[in-house]
Amino acid sequence: MAPASPGTGGHHLRTSLPLLLLSLLTSGCPSGDPVERLVSQLDDAAHRERAIDGLLVLVRQSPARERAAVKLRVVNALADAYREDTARPQIVSALAILRDPAAEEVFVAALKDVERGGAYFEAAVRSARMLGELGLKKQTPVLVETLKRALAAPRQDRNTWLERSVIQALETLGDRRAVPVLIRALDADPSQVDFYVNRLAARALGRMGDRRAVKPLVDSLGATAHGLLLFEESRRALCRIGPPALDGLLSAAAKRDRRGQPERNAAAAARVIADIGLPRTTAKLAGLVKPRDPAALVLAVAEALLRLGDRGGEALLLDLVKDPRAGATSRRHAAALLGWYGSAEALVPLLRPSCEKPDGPAGQLVCWGVALAVSRVAGARGVEVLDKLLTSMQDKATRRNLEEYRALFELMQTCDQSLDCYREQLATAKSWRQRERAALALGRSGDIKVASALARALPEAHPQVKRAILVALEQLAVQGRLEDVRAALVRTFEQQGKDSDPNGATPPSTISRVLCLAERLGRQAHERADKGGEQQNDRVKR
């Protein structure tokens, strides 16, 4: 269980502001300067807490033209008072409220007091945060050493709030001197650290974009101790690093164990290659699949190829659906991917042999998967085959499913080739399956003008509709420029992995795909801008 977070708020004044100031300003000090009156009481344990509160009030209530000068005096006075041992945690808390770089040395000193525990620990956590938030990059070595000591401590002596705060500060500062210790945090045994430490380290490494982090991030894609939580953070980090991560990902996807089988993160690496979105990787991807490879790798590689616009993935999926030796779940998954990415020409011929005489429950699952896939992609020919099957279908459960999928063809019959019709259905259809079908139709149109409508529909969509919209946007990204939707994608999902979906939280994998697509579009825009600048320079030279 994660430890309770230390308090982050300021002092709570224990009396009304007028009474507090009156009592402080009329007590024993001959000076008429209210700052000096309060500072003189900082060394008095009986009055220290009220003096600190009063100084904060003075800063807040000073006229705007004088506030900066008053604040600097108060910060310097508090920093000087830090020598008083018992006052240190209170002073750090006050300086954190004032948020002034002049308190830098106090924050550094507080980090060195962390081993004393209790209030000193809370002061160290605040100090780490402030070094990051104030952009004090020259203190990166201090933060690095603090994190090293924390990671080396025995499990029973650790409180991961400090580790979290230091990693977040290092991420904010973006100083690549921190990369080695962040890699150590990423690699830390999750049984010895709070898994948020691993996740935060992955995120920080991604934002820094240092190539040294590629291998550790790729290796972490196969981590199982904390499930997909770390995988998704590592996935997003690799997307931020982008093309420099491709060689490491391709090596991981191709790596085999002593029995010649793919290693556990091979399929995950293939998915991240598709996230980065460079079509030039398809030839190497296609060569990853070997005879008798597990279905998980075949499915991952086939989907990656289709996401990158390579139809070779379709052939891999068709072979898997037709293979009676493959498990029913894998065959149904392959059929589902054909529905998301495949062609009607490939799918419709599968419908009759899959559903005419399904072989027990496993055969029924495959039939239902193929029928649903056909409903996502096929037109009139699919309706014709499905209707013939319904006339002779004896199994009640299969008939019920086929009839449900048959209704999805009505949208195709209504809209035909009208993109405006599909746009309207995406926004207004009551059935999420109809909205899903409309999104897929817009993506297959190849018309990048529909991208804005797809992006607008993303925040409120059903999870399955979200996936269809992402599939559509990725298909359009292969076709042309989508920079205008990038900001909308990021705004939708960047807030702590949550959105306003009324049907429930969006799956982490969907959020990762959205943010990876945003990174991909950003790179495309940057590359086009660079190319345009080069062309302009050439024209000037001529």
C-alpha–C-alpha distance, residues 510 and 514, integer Å = 6
The model's pTM: 0.85
> According to the model, what pLDDT value does residue 83 have?
81
Using CA of residue 164, residue 242, residue 480, residue 267, what is the dihedral sign?
Answer: negative
Give pLDDT, residue 340. Answer: 94
Residue 42's pLDDT is what?
A: 87
153 pLDDT tier (thresholds 50, 70, 90): confident
pLDDT in the model for residue 371 = 92
Q: Which positions ≥6 away from 409 have C-beta within 8 Å?
A: 375, 378, 379, 382, 383, 386
Residue 500 has pLDDT above 50, yes or no: no
Question: What residue spans define the domains of the chain?
Answer: 1-134, 209-310, 415-541
Contact 286, 319 (CB under 8 A): no
Phi and psi at residue 256, in whole multiples of 5°? -120, 150
Average pLDDT of the segment spanning 202-219: 95
Residue 360 has pLDDT above 90, yes or no: no
Residue 332 sits at the vertex; the CA angle it makes with 231 and 396, to the nearest 5 degrees, is 135
Encode pLDDT of 285-306 as tens digits: 999 999 889 999 999 999 999 9
Per-residue pLDDT of 263-280, as tens digits, reads: 888 999 999 999 999 989
Q: What pLDDT score does 10 carry?
A: 44
pLDDT digits (tens, 9 = 90+) for 408-424: 888 888 888 899 999 99
Percent of the chain surpassing pLDDT 90:
51
**For the residues 28-47, what does the mean pLDDT come to?**
78
CA distance 387 to 348: 12
The confidence band for 472, taking pLDDT boundaries of 50, 70 and 90, is: very high
Token pair 């009676």: residue: 324
Q: Is 481 exposed, middle or buried (0-12, 13-18, 19+ CB in 10 A)?
A: middle
Burial class of residue 16, CB neighbours in 10 A (0-12, 13-18, 19+):
exposed
Mean pLDDT for 52-58 is: 92
